Amino acid sequence: MPNRSALPAAADTHPDDSPASLAAPRWARIATALKGRILAGEWASGTAIAAESALAEHYGVALGTMRAAIQALVDQGLLERVHGRGTFVRGALTGATMARFFRFGDAGSEIPESRIVSLRTLAAPAEIAAQLGLAAGTPVLRLLRQRGWEGKVRLLETIWLPAALFSELATLKPAEFAPLLYPMYAERYGITVSRAIDDLRFARLGAREATQLGLPEGHPALAVNRVAFDLAGRRVEFRQTLGNADDFHYRAEVR
Amino acid sequence: MPNRSALPAAADTHPDDSPASLAAPRWARIATALKGRILAGEWASGTAIAAESALAEHYGVALGTMRAAIQALVDQGLLERVHGRGTFVRGALTGATMARFFRFGDAGSEIPESRIVSLRTLAAPAEIAAQLGLAAGTPVLRLLRQRGWEGKVRLLETIWLPAALFSELATLKPAEFAPLLYPMYAERYGITVSRAIDDLRFARLGAREATQLGLPEGHPALAVNRVAFDLAGRRVEFRQTLGNADDFHYRAEVR
DNA sequence: AAGTGGTCTAGACCACCGA
DNA sequence: CGGTGGTCTAGACCACTTA
């Protein structure tokens, strides 16, 4: 792995809510309790939780208060409200595709071709372990994948997974992988990726990488380092993606 | 302007709210009315608007409804609530510094050195006019600026302003410019930049740019194209920033 | 028609801030 | 202390979805 720039300095902690101290507002304490029930699996991902009126009665609180509690979890990205239908546990991440950083992904939400190049179980190198919040040497799965659009390889991915969470995955054959991994994590391993942090840098392609992308060695590249979290906030994946810097394009809005 | 990649495809419209049709909820109509009063300048930027109880009475509505209206404007980034003090009209953009895309800006929120290299009044080239939502040929001010940290020039900026909004600015001398432009826009021209869209791409340095940055010609660069909007949603600035791609670093969170 | 979330009321009391 | 925003109640009615 040649000229690729270093990994992000370290891990950063989940900036979420505290355990809702006793002094916290009632809606906050209820939100925490409700979150616990969701994470415990009382309602499957994608299904509706109990009606707000029923929950209000259950917690012995007025409707408005219950609504505030639910709204807090909506703001956290854990729930989704749909008028007339119910309040749903949010499924796996959508719109987090790596293609959003590149111009070639512009044409609709087309799913790219996907080819698994390698799958191995390894002892986590220190850098990778740090990103996943594991001790160095912990068993991890390393997946190498190529993604392409219109018959051309565009992105190279190195994906690291804690072996303890994905044990049976090590026995899969490359052809058995679905083109989208997150839905596969959810269906086969019960792991719902609900949040991710992408760290963008510039790098230069090494000889092997350049060959795979059909570019000259040393060509500028965008490197995306992603840490993915599940509903409970556990780090469940670390992924490094490389693509041609000339295709890079990202739009950020500030307020 | 040599190898720099093209500008973003075009303009994009303000994705905000509709004019609040009559069928809209009461809080939405009130929010729109209140927004109009704010944009009309009834309360200066940075000052507190009337108390929510007073507003509720004024609009003949319950407190909860008034709070919903205010909350909508808070979500739009127009207002800011402070417990025990009041509800304030948000001032100029903060945290939108270009340094956030680079590693050298990490050390605190230190304001970089700033040097105005050139200030001219021009007829807007078609591309620039499109970004500012003006007709080609409309008079614009073009400002060239260098920004540095620790005595080293790190960023090159080309800033375009509609001359109609900043007329007296053309007569200023370089030394009279403040190191931060947005507060200066607000104080001297009554223009509050409240929102911006940054478009990131990869480019290569031209000969002149490379010299200014002390890098070789053709060196990889990050190009940021920003369109800045004022409180009323008008396009008030278009800015192009170039920096060393090796210093690029950006973190994006997805839910 | 029944069930869901969305809006709205008219109050009460609490928590925070500044003079 | 008086004024601000924050929380909470116990209702009523509206709007949307599904069967």
For chain B, the average pLDDT equals 89
Domain spans, chain B: 26-89, 98-247
Helix (H, G, I), strand (E, B) or coil at A38: helix
Cβ of B249 within 8 Å of Cβ of A200? The answer is yes
Cβ of A93 within 8 Å of Cβ of B255? The answer is yes
Helix (H, G, I), strand (E, B) or coil at B238: strand
State the nearest residue by CA to the C1' of D10: A62
Is the minimum distance from the CB of B51 to strand C below 7 Å? Answer: no
pLDDT in tens, B160-187: 999 999 988 999 999 899 999 998 998 8
With CA atoms as reference, the chain B residue closest to A91 would be: B255
Distance A81 CA to D13 C1' (A): 20
Rg over CA atoms, chain B: 21
Residues of A in contact with B220 (CB under 8 A): 202, 220, 245
Answer yes or no: is pLDDT of B19 > 80: no
Answer yes or no: is pLDDT of B6 > 70: no
| B183: DSSP letter | H
Residues 75-104, chain B, CB closer than 7 Å to nucleic strand D: 81-87
**pLDDT of res. B18:** 45
**pLDDT of res. A153:** 95
**pLDDT of res. B150:** 85
Of the candidates A198, A220, A253, the beta carbon closest to that of B254 is on A198
Is the minimum distance from the CB of B26 to strand C below 7 Å? Answer: yes
Of the candidates A195, A248, A251, the beta carbon closest to that of B254 is on A195
pLDDT in tens, B99-109: 999 997 665 55
Cβ of A200 within 8 Å of Cβ of B254? The answer is no
Residues of A in contact with B77 (CB under 8 A): 255
Averaged pLDDT in 10-residue chunks for chain A of 255 residues: 48 46 86 94 93 96 97 94 95 83 72 91 97 97 94 95 93 91 90 94 97 97 97 94 96 90
**pLDDT of res. A190:** 87
Cβ of B252 within 8 Å of Cβ of A252? The answer is yes
Is the minimum distance from the CB of A233 to strand D below 7 Å? Answer: no
Do residues B49 and B89 make contact, with C-beta atoms less than 8 angstroms apart?
A: yes
Indicate the class that CATH gives domain A98-247. alpha beta
Cβ of A254 within 8 Å of Cβ of B222? The answer is no
DSSP-assigned letters across all residues of A188-247: HH---EEEEEEEEEEEE--HHHHHHHT--TT-EEEEEEEEEEETTS-EEEEEEEEEEGGG
Q: What residues does A147 pair with on adjacent strands?
A: A114, A155
CA distance B171 to chain A (A): 30
Residue with tokens 């190195």, as numbered in its chain: A158
**pLDDT of res. A10:** 46
pLDDT in tens, B34-74: 999 999 989 998 899 999 999 999 999 999 999 999 999 99
Q: What residues does B82 pair with on adjacent strands?
A: B86
Q: What are phi and psi of A106, to 5 degrees?
A: -60, -35
Site from A83, A104, A202, A244 to mutate, B interface, most B CB atoms within 10 angstroms? A202
Q: Which nucleotides of C are covered by protein (CB under 7 A)?
A: 3-12, 15-18
Closest to A156 in 3D by CA, of A224, A241, A96? A241
Site from B5, B202, B219, B224 to mutate, A interface, most A CB atoms within 10 angstroms? B202
Token code pair at residue B22: 């009559």
CA distance A7 to A135: 17
With CA atoms as reference, the chain B residue closest to A94 would be: B255
For the residues B131-145, what does the mean pLDDT come to?
Answer: 97
CA distance B88 to B157: 32
CATH number of B26-89: 1.10.10.10
Helix (H, G, I), strand (E, B) or coil at B186: helix
Residue with tokens 């927004």, as numbered in its chain: B35
State the nearest residue by CA to the C1' of C3: A84
Q: What region does A65 belong to: left with phi over 0, alpha with psi -120 to 50, or beta?
A: alpha
Is the minimum distance from the CB of A22 to strand C below 7 Å? Answer: no
Cβ of B194 within 8 Å of Cβ of A252? The answer is no
CA distance B22 to chain A (A): 20
Strands B193-204 and B79-82: unpaired
**pLDDT of res. B67:** 97
Question: How many CB pairs below 8 A link A and B?
Answer: 82
Residue B200 CB contacts under 8 Å (≥ 6 apart), including other chains: A248, A249, A250, A251, A252, B101, B222, B223, B224, B250
Is the minimum distance from the CB of B25 to strand C below 7 Å? Answer: yes
Cβ of A249 within 8 Å of Cβ of B196? The answer is no
